[in-house]
Amino acid sequence: MNFFRFMFTKTFWIQVALAIVLVVVLCFVYLFWLGWYTNHDQRIEVPYLERMTLSEVDEKLEELDLRRKIIDSSSYNPDYPPRTVIEQDPAADTFVKENRQIYIKINASGYGLVVVPNLVFKTKRQAVPTLEALGLQVGEIIYKPDVSLDMVLEMKYKGREVKPGEKLKKTSKIDLVLGDGNPNRQGSMDRDSGIGMDNDE
């Protein structure tokens, strides 16, 4: 009964009011601290980094309190200068918070090397897709007298013969020397051999 009588006293309601004020103040303090701790409403615009060198990227991001991380530097895009940014995430003109990490891809200094496959005695139909699958290009198709038709007799690069296993830069043009299927030369050799046999007899 004493408690119920106390609920209707002035002292009780003053304490209730003080408790409510204290809770409201604590809520505001907590929200203010949370906003400060999480950089609430902070908006840093991500700059356009593509075509920048690493030193330029570092300088730009340092000004904005941002960081960067390289996620790839092996691919080569001829449309971009070597050793410059070709991709970034987040994209330019988006907004991030302080100390955010920007992921970038760096253009390689050039095309990687490709091992030239052994295409000698392979048909043109087999050789062309094999070269293209490796990132090499088919250059000039040269025919020379041979009994085989469209069979690779030699591979050439810039006028010199290329041996299987040799390494060339990707996108290099490989000229293919193919047989023209003309049996005349082979037939002539056969006739010469036959003459020799007749004389022996």
Per residue in 127-154, pLDDT (tens digit) is: 999 999 999 999 999 999 999 999 999 9
Residue type at position 117: P
pLDDT band at residue 201, thresholds of 50, 70 and 90?
A: very low
Query: What are the φ and ψ backbone dihedral angles of 95, each rounded to 5 degrees?
Result: -115, 135
Residue of 7 and 114 predicted with greater confidence: 114
pLDDT band at residue 40, thresholds of 50, 70 and 90?
A: low
Span of 87-91, 169-173, 185-189, 194-198 with lowest mean pLDDT: 194-198
β-bridge mates for residue 46, sequence order: none
Question: Taking 80 as the threshold, does the pLDDT of residue 77 lie above it?
Answer: yes
E strands in the chain: 44-45, 67-72, 85-89, 95-96, 101-106, 113-115, 137-144, 149-157, 160-161, 167-169, 173-180
> CA 143 → CA 124, 130, 139, 146, 159, distances in Å?
11, 19, 13, 9, 14
* Structure-block tokens of residue 90: 């987040």
Residues 63-76 have a mean pLDDT of 91
- The C-alpha torsion from 77 through 81 and 82 to 83, rounded to 10°, is -110
Angle at 92 between CA 91 and CA 93, to 5 degrees: 120
Whole-prediction pTM: 0.55
Span of 2-6, 44-48, 106-110 with lowest mean pLDDT: 2-6
Question: Which percentage of the chain shows pLDDT scores above 70?
Answer: 81
| 11 vs 17: CA distance, rounded Å | 10
Q: Is 51 left (phi over 0), alpha (psi -120 to 50) or beta?
A: left
Residues 10-22 have a mean pLDDT of 82
Sign of the four-CA dihedral 73, 79, 84, 85 = negative
| 45 vs 66: CA distance, rounded Å | 10
